[in-house]
Structure 1
Amino acid sequence: MELQGIIKKVGEVQTFPSGFQKREMVIVTEEQYPQPISIEFLKDKGDLLNQLHEGDKVKVSINIGGREWTSPQGEVKYFNSITGWKIEKVDSMGGNEPTQASPSTTTSAPAQGSNVFEEDEDDLPF
Protein backbone atom coordinates (compact mmCIF):
# COMPACT_ATOMS: atom_id res chain seq x y z
CA MET A 1 0.00 0.00 0.00
CA GLU A 2 1.20 3.56 -0.62
CA LEU A 3 0.52 6.96 0.87
CA GLN A 4 1.44 10.25 -0.72
CA GLY A 5 1.69 13.65 0.92
CA ILE A 6 3.79 16.50 2.22
CA ILE A 7 6.19 15.90 5.11
CA LYS A 8 5.05 17.81 8.18
CA LYS A 9 7.57 16.42 10.67
CA VAL A 10 10.59 14.09 10.73
CA GLY A 11 11.36 12.79 14.21
CA GLU A 12 14.65 11.81 15.78
CA VAL A 13 15.80 8.21 16.14
CA GLN A 14 14.42 6.59 19.31
CA THR A 15 16.56 3.83 20.81
CA PHE A 16 15.07 1.49 23.43
CA PRO A 17 16.94 -0.46 26.15
CA SER A 18 16.70 -3.63 24.05
CA GLY A 19 18.63 -1.88 21.25
CA PHE A 20 15.53 -1.62 19.05
CA GLN A 21 15.31 1.64 17.07
CA LYS A 22 12.48 3.48 15.39
CA ARG A 23 11.95 6.84 13.77
CA GLU A 24 8.64 8.55 13.07
CA MET A 25 7.53 10.85 10.30
CA VAL A 26 4.23 12.69 9.80
CA ILE A 27 2.89 13.38 6.33
CA VAL A 28 -0.21 15.35 5.44
CA THR A 29 -2.25 13.82 2.64
CA GLU A 30 -3.37 15.93 -0.29
CA GLU A 31 -7.07 15.33 -0.64
CA GLN A 32 -10.31 17.19 -0.01
CA TYR A 33 -9.87 16.69 3.74
CA PRO A 34 -6.09 16.47 4.38
CA GLN A 35 -5.09 13.99 7.09
CA PRO A 36 -1.91 14.01 9.18
CA ILE A 37 -0.61 10.43 9.14
CA SER A 38 2.15 9.22 11.48
CA ILE A 39 4.40 6.55 9.94
CA GLU A 40 7.03 4.53 11.81
CA PHE A 41 10.31 3.41 10.25
CA LEU A 42 11.84 0.53 12.19
CA LYS A 43 15.47 -0.50 12.69
CA ASP A 44 17.70 0.51 9.75
CA LYS A 45 14.71 1.79 7.72
CA GLY A 46 14.93 4.97 9.82
CA ASP A 47 17.96 5.90 7.71
CA LEU A 48 15.61 6.40 4.75
CA LEU A 49 14.54 9.69 6.35
CA ASN A 50 18.04 11.19 6.55
CA GLN A 51 17.82 13.17 3.30
CA LEU A 52 14.22 14.33 3.72
CA HIS A 53 12.94 17.64 5.06
CA GLU A 54 9.68 19.22 6.13
CA GLY A 55 7.77 20.37 3.05
CA ASP A 56 9.08 17.59 0.76
CA LYS A 57 6.42 15.78 -1.24
CA VAL A 58 6.85 12.00 -0.87
CA LYS A 59 5.32 8.65 -1.72
CA VAL A 60 5.68 6.09 1.08
CA SER A 61 5.23 2.32 0.76
CA ILE A 62 3.65 1.08 3.98
CA ASN A 63 2.39 -1.95 5.84
CA ILE A 64 -0.57 -1.69 8.21
CA GLY A 65 -0.52 -3.85 11.30
CA GLY A 66 -2.93 -4.38 14.15
CA ARG A 67 -2.76 -5.91 17.58
CA GLU A 68 -5.04 -6.74 20.45
CA TRP A 69 -4.24 -5.79 24.05
CA THR A 70 -6.06 -6.78 27.22
CA SER A 71 -5.76 -4.41 30.18
CA PRO A 72 -5.27 -5.71 33.74
CA GLN A 73 -8.99 -4.98 34.24
CA GLY A 74 -9.85 -7.32 31.37
CA GLU A 75 -10.80 -4.60 28.88
CA VAL A 76 -9.78 -5.50 25.31
CA LYS A 77 -8.40 -2.72 23.09
CA TYR A 78 -7.13 -2.73 19.53
CA PHE A 79 -4.22 -0.72 18.13
CA ASN A 80 -3.05 -0.09 14.59
CA SER A 81 0.41 0.73 13.34
CA ILE A 82 1.59 2.12 10.02
CA THR A 83 5.13 1.06 9.17
CA GLY A 84 7.08 2.51 6.25
CA TRP A 85 9.58 0.40 4.32
CA LYS A 86 10.27 2.50 1.21
CA ILE A 87 10.06 6.21 0.50
CA GLU A 88 10.68 8.33 -2.56
CA LYS A 89 10.55 12.04 -3.20
CA VAL A 90 7.91 13.13 -5.67
CA ASP A 91 8.94 16.03 -7.86
CA SER A 92 5.97 18.39 -8.08
CA MET A 93 7.31 19.58 -11.46
CA GLY A 94 6.51 16.28 -13.13
CA GLY A 95 9.45 14.05 -12.13
CA ASN A 96 8.06 11.01 -10.29
CA GLU A 97 4.58 12.40 -9.87
CA PRO A 98 1.94 10.26 -11.56
CA THR A 99 0.19 12.04 -14.36
CA GLN A 100 -3.47 11.86 -15.19
CA ALA A 101 -5.04 12.37 -18.56
CA SER A 102 -7.38 15.31 -18.80
CA PRO A 103 -11.05 14.36 -19.22
CA SER A 104 -11.13 15.83 -22.71
CA THR A 105 -8.56 13.29 -23.91
CA THR A 106 -10.30 10.27 -22.44
CA THR A 107 -13.89 10.88 -23.51
CA SER A 108 -15.32 11.44 -26.93
CA ALA A 109 -18.67 12.62 -28.17
CA PRO A 110 -21.05 9.95 -29.46
CA ALA A 111 -21.07 9.44 -33.21
CA GLN A 112 -23.83 11.11 -35.16
CA GLY A 113 -26.96 8.98 -35.22
CA SER A 114 -25.79 6.50 -32.55
CA ASN A 115 -27.89 5.64 -29.53
CA VAL A 116 -26.12 6.96 -26.43
CA PHE A 117 -27.99 4.46 -24.23
CA GLU A 118 -26.78 1.47 -26.22
CA GLU A 119 -23.74 -0.24 -24.66
CA ASP A 120 -20.67 -1.21 -26.63
CA GLU A 121 -19.49 -4.75 -25.98
CA ASP A 122 -15.88 -3.64 -25.46
CA ASP A 123 -16.67 -0.47 -23.50
CA LEU A 124 -14.85 -0.99 -20.19
CA PRO A 125 -15.72 1.21 -17.19
CA PHE A 126 -12.03 1.88 -16.48
Structure 2
Amino acid sequence: MAYDLTGKIKLIQDAKTFDSGFTKREMVVIVEDGKYPQEINLEFVQEKVTLLDSLRPGQKVTVTFDIRGREYNGRYFNNLQGWKIDAAEDASATGIDEQSPPFPTPSDFGDEDIPF
Protein backbone atom coordinates (compact mmCIF):
# COMPACT_ATOMS: atom_id res chain seq x y z
CA MET A 1 0.00 0.00 0.00
CA ALA A 2 1.37 3.42 -0.95
CA TYR A 3 1.25 6.53 1.21
CA ASP A 4 1.90 10.21 0.43
CA LEU A 5 3.26 13.08 2.47
CA THR A 6 3.80 16.71 1.53
CA GLY A 7 6.31 19.04 3.13
CA LYS A 8 9.57 20.93 2.71
CA ILE A 9 12.92 19.23 2.36
CA LYS A 10 15.14 19.81 5.39
CA LEU A 11 18.17 17.85 4.21
CA ILE A 12 19.33 15.36 1.63
CA GLN A 13 22.14 13.01 2.57
CA ASP A 14 24.78 11.64 0.25
CA ALA A 15 24.24 8.19 -1.24
CA LYS A 16 25.80 5.26 0.64
CA THR A 17 26.92 2.15 -1.21
CA PHE A 18 27.66 -0.93 0.86
CA ASP A 19 30.07 -3.81 0.12
CA SER A 20 27.15 -5.93 -1.06
CA GLY A 21 26.41 -3.37 -3.80
CA PHE A 22 23.27 -2.10 -2.04
CA THR A 23 22.83 1.70 -2.37
CA LYS A 24 20.61 3.95 -0.30
CA ARG A 25 20.11 7.68 0.17
CA GLU A 26 18.02 9.42 2.81
CA MET A 27 16.23 12.74 3.05
CA VAL A 28 14.29 14.50 5.79
CA VAL A 29 11.00 16.24 5.01
CA ILE A 30 9.37 18.65 7.47
CA VAL A 31 5.61 18.12 7.58
CA GLU A 32 3.39 20.72 9.25
CA ASP A 33 1.30 18.82 11.79
CA GLY A 34 -0.56 21.21 14.06
CA LYS A 35 1.55 22.90 16.71
CA TYR A 36 4.59 20.67 16.24
CA PRO A 37 6.08 20.11 12.76
CA GLN A 38 7.29 16.56 12.17
CA GLU A 39 10.68 15.75 10.65
CA ILE A 40 10.15 12.59 8.62
CA ASN A 41 13.13 10.53 7.41
CA LEU A 42 12.60 8.72 4.10
CA GLU A 43 15.01 6.40 2.34
CA PHE A 44 15.45 5.73 -1.36
CA VAL A 45 17.21 2.57 -2.49
CA GLN A 46 19.03 1.29 -5.57
CA GLU A 47 17.93 3.09 -8.77
CA LYS A 48 15.54 5.38 -6.81
CA VAL A 49 18.45 7.31 -5.25
CA THR A 50 18.69 9.36 -8.46
CA LEU A 51 15.24 10.87 -7.73
CA LEU A 52 16.96 13.12 -5.19
CA ASP A 53 19.59 14.51 -7.57
CA SER A 54 17.61 17.53 -8.76
CA LEU A 55 16.14 18.46 -5.37
CA ARG A 56 17.44 20.89 -2.73
CA PRO A 57 16.63 21.84 0.87
CA GLY A 58 13.68 24.21 1.25
CA GLN A 59 11.87 22.83 -1.77
CA LYS A 60 8.25 21.68 -1.31
CA VAL A 61 7.66 18.07 -2.36
CA THR A 62 5.08 15.31 -2.24
CA VAL A 63 6.70 11.94 -1.66
CA THR A 64 5.01 8.61 -2.35
CA PHE A 65 6.40 5.83 -0.17
CA ASP A 66 5.82 2.35 1.22
CA ILE A 67 6.22 1.28 4.85
CA ARG A 68 8.69 -1.57 5.25
CA GLY A 69 9.09 -3.51 8.51
CA ARG A 70 11.41 -6.25 9.71
CA GLU A 71 12.58 -8.06 12.82
CA TYR A 72 16.21 -8.26 13.90
CA ASN A 73 17.33 -9.98 17.13
CA GLY A 74 13.87 -9.68 18.65
CA ARG A 75 13.51 -5.99 17.85
CA TYR A 76 11.26 -4.56 15.17
CA PHE A 77 12.19 -1.77 12.77
CA ASN A 78 10.22 0.29 10.26
CA ASN A 79 11.44 2.25 7.25
CA LEU A 80 9.65 4.64 4.94
CA GLN A 81 10.89 3.73 1.48
CA GLY A 82 10.24 6.41 -1.13
CA TRP A 83 9.73 5.59 -4.78
CA LYS A 84 8.19 8.74 -6.31
CA ILE A 85 8.68 12.48 -5.77
CA ASP A 86 6.59 15.33 -7.15
CA ALA A 87 8.33 18.65 -6.66
CA ALA A 88 6.14 21.74 -6.38
CA GLU A 89 6.72 24.46 -8.95
CA ASP A 90 9.38 26.69 -7.43
CA ALA A 91 8.60 30.34 -8.16
CA SER A 92 12.17 31.47 -7.51
CA ALA A 93 13.54 28.93 -9.99
CA THR A 94 11.29 30.24 -12.74
CA GLY A 95 12.07 33.86 -11.97
CA ILE A 96 8.43 34.61 -11.18
CA ASP A 97 7.65 36.23 -7.87
CA GLU A 98 4.19 35.21 -6.68
CA GLN A 99 3.74 38.63 -5.05
CA SER A 100 4.69 40.71 -8.07
CA PRO A 101 1.89 42.20 -10.15
CA PRO A 102 1.34 41.07 -13.75
CA PHE A 103 2.75 43.01 -16.67
CA PRO A 104 1.05 46.40 -17.12
CA THR A 105 -1.58 46.82 -19.79
CA PRO A 106 -2.36 50.08 -21.70
CA SER A 107 -5.35 50.65 -19.42
CA ASP A 108 -2.97 50.86 -16.43
CA PHE A 109 -1.59 54.18 -17.71
CA GLY A 110 -3.38 57.49 -17.41
CA ASP A 111 -3.51 60.20 -20.11
CA GLU A 112 -0.53 62.02 -18.56
CA ASP A 113 1.68 58.92 -18.96
CA ILE A 114 1.37 58.86 -22.76
CA PRO A 115 4.52 60.39 -24.29
CA PHE A 116 2.76 61.96 -27.29
- TM-score higher than 0.5 here? yes
**Which residue number corresponds to residue 11 of structure 1?**
13
**Which residue number corresponds to residue 87 of structure 2?**
89
The answer to whether structure 1 residue 53 and structure 2 residue 56 are counterparts is yes
**Which residue number corresponds to residue 22 of structure 1?**
24
- Equivalent residue runs for 1:1-126 within 5 Å: 1-32=3-34, 33-70=36-73, 76-91=74-89
Specify the SS of the correspondent of 2:27.
Answer: strand
What 5-or-longer segments of structure 2 have no aligned partner? 92-116
Specify the SS of the correspondent of 2:50.
Answer: helix
Counterpart CA distance in 1 for 2:61 and 2:44 is: 14
Letter in 2 for 1:5: G
Bigger RCO of structures 1 and 2 (CA < 8 A, at least 6 apart): 2
Specify the SS of the correspondent of 1:45.
Answer: helix
**Which residue number corresponds to residue 124 of structure 1?**
none
**Which residue number corresponds to residue 112 of structure 2?**
none
Deviation at 1:90, TM superposition (A): 1.8
TM-score (norm 1): 0.66
Percentage identity across paired residues of the two chains: 45
TM-score (norm 2): 0.72
Counterpart CA distance in 2 for 1:28 and 1:37 is: 6
Runs of 4+ in 1 over 6 A off after TM superposition: none
Letter in 1 for 2:56: H
Counterpart CA distance in 2 for 1:30 and 1:13 is: 26
**Which residue number corresponds to residue 97 of structure 2?**
none
Counterpart CA distance in 2 for 1:69 and 1:54 is: 33
Counterpart CA distance in 1 for 2:67 and 2:22 is: 19
Counterpart CA distance in 2 for 1:21 and 1:30 is: 30
